[in-house]
Amino acid sequence: FPRLRLPPGLDARSAREILAERGPGSFDLHHLYKIAQGTPAARCEGPGCAARALIGWPADSRACGRGQAIGIVDTAVDAGHPALAGADIRRQAFVTEGKAAAPADHGTAVAALLVGQPGSVVPGLVPRARLFAAAPFYTLPSGNATTDTAGLVKSLDWLAGQGVAVIGLSLAGPDNAVLRDAVRRVAARGIVVIAAAGNGGRNAPPAYPAAHERVIGVTAIAADRRVYWRANQGDYIDYALPGVNVWTADPAGGGRARSGTSYAVPYMVALSAQSLAQRSASRDVLLTGRLGGLADLGDPGRDPVFGYGKPRFDRDCR
């Protein structure tokens, strides 16, 4: 897609309004997005280690993910982390030219939750799956990791071409027409798209792409089923999954507990991919909150804190 530069004397929002007269919905600002993580704890302790049991995941997950292809959009993944030794990971960077790639800690943590190998420091939910990892994040002068609309769109287009069934986006930012079109193209191919609700707090505006149509927005809960205190709320929240003090990879080669709606995404990715593979749920069932075993955690029915509720897998992988 084309990127346009501003002529002298014209601000970005005015330029968008002018272009909208010629092509409504075809142009938008080059927004930035950030990873949706909170502050990591020092180590995994107590109820934070019970995340898998919270969604009824099999204790023996060695067969989980067999024959599946899943995708993530995140920072780079350190395939040399001990938890990922032997995992089937295909990586592709989409960092804007001239930018320095962001550190690989967040992407590695998300990847380990998915395909961490059995017996390692972080046993993954679907260790037999092939993981396609798109990495568009770069480092700002402030030191924060971010990506832009172009990087996200390129990442989504690449993942769609790899034959993945599910894509997880552990990131959040503003609404954007170009990104919305990219998500629509991916969804039109039958791919399930899952995104983090955001960590802006209960009064924050909707976070995107989670709030886009045909995207499953997930929030984070603790072992006691309470919602993550920093999680966004709104009518775009679909499901509540573990995301508070979940045990995953750290940059030093070990593990630690981390919190954020980012970390709820891989739980929903794994549950969706395995359910689709075993034909225990269809894409339409996932999108409309008709999963079996849902626990209604908030007000009766769908609510802006927990969405449809907490899903459970409650079966063996095959």
> Could you tell me the residue ranges of all domains in the chain?
1-29, 31-287
Confidence (pLDDT) at 38: 61
Inter-CA distances, 59 with 131, 175, 263, 316, Å: 21, 39, 19, 9
User: What angle separates helix 265-277 from helix 105-115, to the nearest 10 degrees?
Assistant: 30
Distance CA 302, CA 192 (A): 20
Can you give the pLDDT at residue 43?
Answer: 41
Instruction: Give pTM, 2 decimals.
Output: 0.87
Residue 259: its pLDDT value, please? Answer: 96
- Residues 128-176 have pLDDT tens digits of 999 999 999 999 999 999 999 999 999 999 999 999 999 999 999 999 9
Q: Answer whether residue 283 shows pLDDT above 60.
A: yes
pLDDT of residue 173: 96
Give the HSE-up count for residue 230: Cα atoms under 13 Å, Cβ half-sphere: 14
Name the amino acid, one letter, at 224. Answer: D
Q: Is the pLDDT of residue 46 over 80?
A: no
What is the number of other CB atoms lying within 10 angstroms of the CB of residue 94? Answer: 22
- 193-252 confidence digits (pLDDT tens): 999 999 999 999 999 999 999 999 999 999 999 999 999 999 999 999 999 999 999 999
Four-residue CA torsion sign, 284, 286, 289, 294:
positive
- pLDDT band at residue 48 under the 50/70/90 scheme: very low
Give residue-wise pLDDT tens across range 180-195.
999 999 999 999 999 9
Architecture of domain 31-287: 3-Layer(aba) Sandwich (3.40)
